[in-house]
Structure 1
């Protein structure tokens, strides 16, 4: 009888152990991200949060078009930065039947052309008369952009046509654009760049968006996350946490600042999570997640 009881106890222990292990005996969660500051910050943040909870997470840096293709073909599980209803509308309409759009976690995001506050210019319309609007005769005949294929670059190309601007749109990268902005800012030279909010550069430099009277860049967006079909069934707990996730200018701004100032995104995220543990734990609260 004792031997039978021992076997029953051991059997129950093995079943429990195997069941617990099987919860994480899945493929890694693959998060796709485009090379924007906030996407880098929140993707690394969720990688660390999910790894703390026992999940394996892989980050894949891709262009926006490949991001949507990856979600639609199950090559990518999650994308944490999707701007709707304007910026990502064209991509979403193309792939919406093969991906799932979820909750928004940030409200009031925007895109546009930005200049240093010292420039005597207030509207995109003013760019038509560069020498006069830049104050002392100094002028620029280019708009410094980011990566080709991004929604922001496509919208800027349309804005140049809409406003009839005789400007060259320079394709570069986020970091190259910021480097150009920094160099011009330190010398108080005229510079026009493509920018978006939220972004940490607005805390570092005194910048302003140019007014957009013809609405070339549309209204403000909300930032959502998206997943491949079937992710909700495979990772219901993770989806509940993500649905409970919300950030504002302060929380996202401090996260992006930590990441930009640290030696690596991992280090910056680790510092931010330690300082904001109660906020993160709120997203992971099982009762709150169950309601979303």
Structure 2
């Protein structure tokens, strides 16, 4: 019996050594760029690097905390320096920023391109046109906190209505289809810019910050756990416009994994350049 037990134990050890650890990636559910980026990266890590991946949908604060604690290995949804700047300040000693995956991100207030209003300050005089409200997303999001600040900074009396990413775009669609003015909290990259003619309201007081970037942030232990994944994430970066087709496909009903696989199949050279040296 003793020999059998030892044999079983050594077999278990061997099996474990052969199996690569699962990589847990946190993403923000309802953020289409986060869903698209995370799914493309996950499929590449699985197919090309051979690590199983678990995508974990979480709120932004929980995502940062998870990566800092090691409950999550990585997030590809770190909006910096402004949107998630407070989380970076809180957790920067416990996480590693591997670099930018989307260089030209932006948050702010978005309106149909056809409305005459140009700046955030212009909203007050025409607030009745906008039903006295700004259609928001989930309450804890960075763009919501910044909109609260903007309401104070520009002395606006419009009410910020929390909802969700999908509820916000549904309301945007309703108002645009009815040819009515509407103002929403939003960000680029987003599929809504591929679907409708929209514009950001100018923000002369820079409450929403300048251009943002989205970074790959990992738990420092990932280097030990899966060095090839870290090598890949250091190289993984979208060019402007590349992510839009993945987001729009998903919005039009394609499953995120299928949209990711289609993009990967069509862009073999880009994928090769990302995984070069990581395999």
Q: TM-score, normalised by structure 2?
A: 0.90
Please name the residue that 1:13 is paired with.
none
Partner residue of 1:106 out of 94, 97, 102: 102
Please name the residue that 2:165 is paired with.
174
Equivalent residue runs for 1:59-98 within 5 Å: 59-98=55-94
Q: Distance in 2 between matches of 1:30 and 1:249?
A: 26
Please name the residue that 1:230 is paired with.
221
Q: Distance in 1 between matches of 2:239 and 2:59?
A: 25
Count of residue pairs the alignment pairs up: 265
- The 3 A distance-change label for structure 1 pair 93 and 139 is closer
Please name the residue that 1:163 is paired with.
154
Equivalent residue runs for 1:177-256 within 5 Å: 177-256=168-247
Partner residue of 1:29 out of 19, 23, 28: 23
Partner residue of 2:52 out of 51, 56, 67: 56
Structure showing greater Rg: 1
Q: Distance in 2 between matches of 1:229 and 1:105?
A: 18
Q: Distance in 2 between matches of 1:201 and 1:30?
A: 29
- The answer to which structure, 1 or 2, has the higher relative contact order (CA under 8 A, 6+ apart) is 2
Note the C-alpha offset of 1:23. Answer: 5.3
| Partner SS, residue 188 of structure 1 | coil
- Across the aligned residues of Structure 1 and Structure 2, the Cα RMSD in angstroms comes to 1.8
| Partner SS, residue 114 of structure 1 | strand
| Partner SS, residue 249 of structure 2 | helix
Q: Distance in 2 between matches of 1:23 and 1:280?
A: 25
Q: TM-score, normalised by structure 1?
A: 0.86
CA contact (8 A) 1:83 1:221 kept: yes
Unaligned ranges ≥5, structure 2: 1-13
Q: Distance in 2 between matches of 1:251 and 1:94?
A: 32
| Partner SS, residue 279 of structure 1 | helix
CA contact (8 A) 2:34 2:77 kept: yes
Is residue 124 of structure 1 aligned with residue 120 of structure 2?
yes
Partner residue of 1:42 out of 37, 49, 67: 37
- Residue by residue, what CA displacement relative to the aligned partner does 1:58-85 show, whole Å, maximum 9, x if unpaired? 0111101101111111111110011222
